[in-house]
Structure 1
Amino acid sequence: MNKIPRRIVTGIQSGKSVIIEDQPVANAVEHFPGLIISDVWNTQQTPAGLDFETPIPNTGFPQTPKNGTYFRYVVVPPDKDLGIEWKKNEPHPMMHQTPTLDYIIILSGELYLIMEEGETLLKPGDIVIQRGTNHAWSNRSNKPCIQLAVLIDASAQG
């Protein structure tokens, strides 16, 4: 499994900032073959508290706390490695929706963002602002795609 580093620089000792953690995450989970997710950090409220961490269970589909956030590291394997079949003109089997505003950055590899109508190819450096809509991810390449995502609890308008 991937070694996902996590460094927390929020400690104070003798009035100076210090690194209080520098080690791989402890909650990287392989939910499907090759699909690795780690919820690296979360907040339980807004404004966020800076003095503690509330560990959370790592889930395939996020359960962002009310008024909170998730900071998520995701490795999306090639579709063929996931063993998921998707027939054209049918909803993607991994289509999902969360009540969150998501900031997503593609770090490596490539990935298709699939909507109910249309799709777009994402490459390293691309940014997605996902606003609580149905969507799915499809990796049609031969290499894993790594993305970072910040999920923020949101409410629908209108």
Structure 2
Amino acid sequence: MNKIPRPIVTGIQNGKSTIVEDQRVENVVEHLPGLIISDLWNTQKTPANLDFEIPIPNTGFPQTPKNGTYFRYVVIPPDKDLGVESKVGEPHPMMHQTQTLDYIIILSGELYLIMEEGETLLKTGDIVIQRGTNHAWSNRSDEPCIQLAVLIGAEE
């Protein structure tokens, strides 16, 4: 299950910059078959404390701290593999909203971003600026889609 690229974390030791962590991600959860989420890093406030990290549990819908951030890696499998079926005239079953500003990059595959009004197909390299709106992701292809996201706590 863990095919997430390894994170390299830097820091300061003895007054010099150094690599303090270089290993495979252990914080990985498969919430539904093929839906893999890893919250790689977080901050609890802004400005961030560079010497401190609180390990966080992976959740399907993030609990980003007010004034904090999440750095999230997500693998979204095809809808058919999740058993997700969207019915015409009804909200998508995975529709949700977070109180965050999200910067999302599609690393591979393709995915539909569904809003209450309209949708658009995202492909590798596309970037989404998600501003706390109600939305869902729908993978109508035969391959998983991988996205990388930075979620920033936001005011209502």
Structure 1's consecutive aligned runs of 4 or more residues displaced over 4 angstroms after TM superposition are: none
The one-letter code sitting in structure 1 at the alignment partner of 2:62 is P
Tell whether 2:106 aligns with 1:94: no
Q: 1:37 maps to which residue?
A: 37
Q: 1:15 Cα deviation (Å)? A: 2.3
Q: 1:16 Cα deviation (Å)? A: 1.7
Tell whether 2:19 aligns with 1:7: no
Counterparts of 1:36 and 1:100 in 2: how far apart (Å)?
20
Counterparts of 1:59 and 1:99 in 2: how far apart (Å)?
15
Q: Secondary structure at the match of 2:7?
A: strand
Q: Deviations over 1:64-102 (max 9, x none)?
A: 011100000000000000011111111000000001000
The one-letter code sitting in structure 1 at the alignment partner of 2:8 is R
Q: 1:61 Cα deviation (Å)? A: 0.4
Q: How many residue pairs end up in the alignment?
A: 155
Counterparts of 1:30 and 1:37 in 2: how far apart (Å)?
6
Uncovered stretches (5+) of structure 2, i.e. residues with no partner:
none
Q: Deviations over 1:33-79 (max 9, x none)?
A: 00000000000001000001110111010000111000000000000
Identity %: 81
Q: 1:26 Cα deviation (Å)? A: 1.1
Q: 2:77 maps to which residue?
A: 77
Q: Secondary structure at the match of 2:81?
A: helix
Q: Map of 1:101-116 to 2, 5 A cutoff?
A: 101-116=101-116
Uncovered stretches (5+) of structure 1, i.e. residues with no partner:
none
The one-letter code sitting in structure 2 at the alignment partner of 1:101 is L
Q: 1:110 Cα deviation (Å)? A: 0.2
